[in-house]
C-alpha cells in the first residue's frame, strides 16, 4: 500500500501534515477568543472570512501553479501562515482579529492548491484513488492533531503561546516544503501579468461534477467547525477539539480499508456511499445529548469523510487536463471554500449561542448532503444511459 510513491510524495505529505496542524491548532479556542473581545455574535465570521479569502486566492494560486511552479505557490502560502500566526497576539479589537482571519485564509488558498497539483503530477492514474487516500489521511491527521492539541496547549501555556506554537509549526513545515522537487516542466519566472485573471483561470469546466459534490458536502464541515467547540462545552467536555480527535482516528482507520474502493467500483458509487453516511452522521451529531452519542457521531463522520474526501480529490485529478491541473485543483478548492463558508455563515442565522438551536444548525448540512446524493444518482444514471 505504501510503496511506489517516491520520496517527493512522502516529503510533501509530511509538510502538509504540519501545515494543517499549524492553522487548526488555534481554531478550537477562537470562539472564546472573539467572545473575550466582545464579538460573541460574530463567531460565524471566524471561519467564513478565512474561507472567503482562500476562495478569492484560488484562481491566482491555480494559475500561478501552472505558470511559475507548484513549489513557489506552496511556499508563499506557508509564509503567510507564519506571519499571521505571529500577529494574532497583537489583537486588541474584534475588527483587527477579523482582518487577520481574512488574511490568514490566503495561506489556505495557496499552499494546498500547489501541493495538490504537485501530488497529481506524481501519482499514476491506476493508483490515484489510493494515493489521494494517503494524501488525504495526512491532511485529516493534521486537522485532528491540531484540533486535539489546541485546547490542551491553551490550558497549559495560554493563548499567546498557542499562537506562537502555531507559527513555529508553520516554520517547520516551510523547511520541509523547501526539500520538495518541482514537478512542473519548465516553470516560468513570475510576471505581474500572471495576476490578470480571466474566467478560464478561475474555473476548469471538466471538473464540475467533482466540484459540485464538494460544494454540497463541504457545508457540513463549516457547520462543525463553528458549532462543535460550543457543543463540547455544553456536554461538559473540557477539550474543545474532542470531536476532531475522535474523527481523525476514524477517518484514518477507514482509509486503510477503503483506499482502493473508488479505484475498484468507481468515483460516483463511492461518493454515494460516503455522502449517505455523512447525512447519518450530521443527524447524530445534532441530536447528541451525551458524550457517548457525540463520540459515536464523530466516529461516523470520520467514516463519511474518509470515504468521500480522497474520492473527490481523485475524481478531480481524473477530470483535469494535464496542462491545467493547477486550475483544476483550484476549482475544486474554490468549491470547498465556498461550501465551508456557506455552512459556517448559516450558523449565524440558525444558532443563537444556546444548545436548543444546535440541531437546526446541523440540519442545513443534512439537506445539502441529500441534494448531493440526488446529484450523484442523476450523474451516474446519465453516464450509464450514454454508454
The answer to whether position 187 is within a domain reads no
The answer to whether position 375 is within a domain reads yes
CB atoms within 10 A of CB 161: 13
Largest CA distance in the chain: 61
Residue 385 is predicted with a pLDDT of 60
Q: Name every residue whose Cβ is closer than 8 Å to that of residue 289 and which is 6 or more positions away in sequence.
A: none
The answer to whether position 190 is within a domain reads no
The SS3 assignment for 184 reads coil
The answer to whether position 255 is within a domain reads yes
CA quadruple 383, 384, 385, 387: dihedral sign: positive
CA 336 to CA 342: how far, in whole Å?
A: 10
CA 179 to CA 291: how far, in whole Å?
A: 43
Domain harbouring 220, CATH code: 1.20.1250.20
CA 109 to CA 73: how far, in whole Å?
A: 10
- Tell me the pLDDT tens digit for each residue of 320-369: 887 787 778 778 888 988 898 899 889 989 988 888 889 999 999 999 99
The answer to whether position 194 is within a domain reads no
The answer to whether position 49 is within a domain reads yes
The answer to whether position 196 is within a domain reads no
- Tell me the pLDDT tens digit for each residue of 18-37: 999 998 999 889 988 999 99
CA 159 to CA 154: how far, in whole Å?
A: 5
| CA angle 40–284–307, rounded 5-degree value | 100
Reading the chain (387 residues) residue by residue, the pLDDT tens digits are: 555 677 888 999 999 999 999 989 998 899 889 999 988 888 878 888 998 898 888 888 888 888 899 899 999 999 999 999 999 999 999 999 999 999 999 998 899 888 888 888 888 777 777 787 788 788 878 888 888 888 889 999 999 999 999 999 999 999 998 988 888 888 889 888 888 888 777 788 899 999 999 999 999 999 998 898 889 889 999 888 788 888 888 988 887 777 678 888 888 999 999 999 999 999 999 999 999 999 999 999 999 988 998 889 888 888 888 778 777 877 888 898 889 889 988 998 998 888 888 999 999 999 999 999 999 999 888 776 654
Q: HSE, CB side, 13 Å, CA atoms: give it for residue 91.
A: 26
CB atoms within 10 A of CB 295: 18
The answer to whether position 191 is within a domain reads no
**Number of structural domains in the chain:** 1
Selection from 16, 262, 276 nearest residue 146 by Cα: 16
The range of the structural domain enclosing residue 279 comes to: 8-181+203-386
- Predicted TM-score (pTM) of the model is 0.75
CA 293 to CA 82: how far, in whole Å?
A: 37
CA 254 to CA 305: how far, in whole Å?
A: 9
Quick one: how far is CA 113 from the chain centroid? 11
Selection from 386, 321, 348, 368 nearest residue 221 by Cα: 368
Amino acid at each position: 500500500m505504501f510503496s511506489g510513491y517516491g520520496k517527493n510524495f512522502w516529503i510533501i505529505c509530511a509538510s502538509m501534515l504540519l501545515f494543517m496542524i499549524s492553522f487548526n491548532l488555534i481554531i478550537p479556542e477562537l470562539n472564546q477568543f472573539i467572545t473575550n473581545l466582545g464579538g460573541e455574535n460574530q463567531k460565524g465570521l471566524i471561519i467564513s472570512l478565512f474561507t472567503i479569502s482562500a476562495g478569492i486566492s484560488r484562481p491566482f494560486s491555480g494559475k500561478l501553479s501552472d505558470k511559475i511552479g507548484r513549489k513557489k505557490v506552496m511556499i508563499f502560502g506557508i509564509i503567510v501562515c507564519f506571519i499571521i500566526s505571529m500577529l494574532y497576539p497583537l489583537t486588541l479589537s474584534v475588527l483587527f482579529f477579523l482582518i487577520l482571519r481574512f488574511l490568514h485564509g490566503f495561506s489556505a488558498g495557496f499552499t494546498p492548491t500547489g501541493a495538490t497539483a504537485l501530488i497529481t503530477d506524481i501519482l499514476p492514474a491506476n493508483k490515484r484513488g489510493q494515493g489521494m487516500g494517503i494524501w488525504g489521511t495526512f491532511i485529516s491527521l493534521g486537522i485532528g492533531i491540531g484540533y486535539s492539541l489546541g485546547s490542551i496547549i491553551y490550558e497549559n501555556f495560554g493563548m499567546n503561546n498557542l499562537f506562537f506554537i502555531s507559527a513555529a509549526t508553520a516554520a517547520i513545515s516551510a523547511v520541509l516544503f523547501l526539500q520538495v522537487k518541482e514537478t512542473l516542466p519548465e516553470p516560468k519566472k513570475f510576471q505581474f501579468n500572471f495576476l490578470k485573471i480571466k474566467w478560464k483561470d478561475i474555473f476548469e469546466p471538466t471538473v464540475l461534477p467533482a466540484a459540485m459534490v464538494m460544494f454540497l458536502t463541504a457545508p457540513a464541515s463549516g457547520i462543525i467547525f463553528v458549532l462543535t467547540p460550543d457543543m463540547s462545552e455544553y456536554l461538559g467536555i473540557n477539550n474543545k477539539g474532542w470531536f476532531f480527535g475522535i474523527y481523525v482516528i476514524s477517518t484514518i482507520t477507514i482509509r486503510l480499508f477503503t483506499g482502493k474502493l473508488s479505484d475498484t467500483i468507481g468515483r460516483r458509487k463511492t461518493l454515494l456511499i460516503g455522502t449517505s453516511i455523512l447525512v447519518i452522521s450530521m443527524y447524530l451529531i445534532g441530536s447528541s445529548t451525551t458524550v457517548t452519542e457525540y463520540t459515536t457521531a464523530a466516529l461516523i463522520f470520520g467514516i463519511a469523510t474518509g470515504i468521500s474526501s480522497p474520492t473527490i480529490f481523485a475524481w478531480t485529478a481524473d477530470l483535469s487536463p494535464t496542462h491545467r491541473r493547477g486550475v483544476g485543483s483550484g476549482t475544486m478548492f474554490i468549491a470547498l471554500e465556498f461550501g465551508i463558508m456557506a455552512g459556517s455563515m448559516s450558523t449565524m442565522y440558525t444558532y443563537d449561542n444556546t444548545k436548543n438551536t444546535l440541531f437546526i444548525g446541523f440540519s442545513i448540512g443534512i439537506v445539502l448532503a441529500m441534494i448531493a446524493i440526488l446529484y450523484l444518482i442523476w450523474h451516474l444514471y446519465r453516464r450509464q444511459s450514454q454508454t
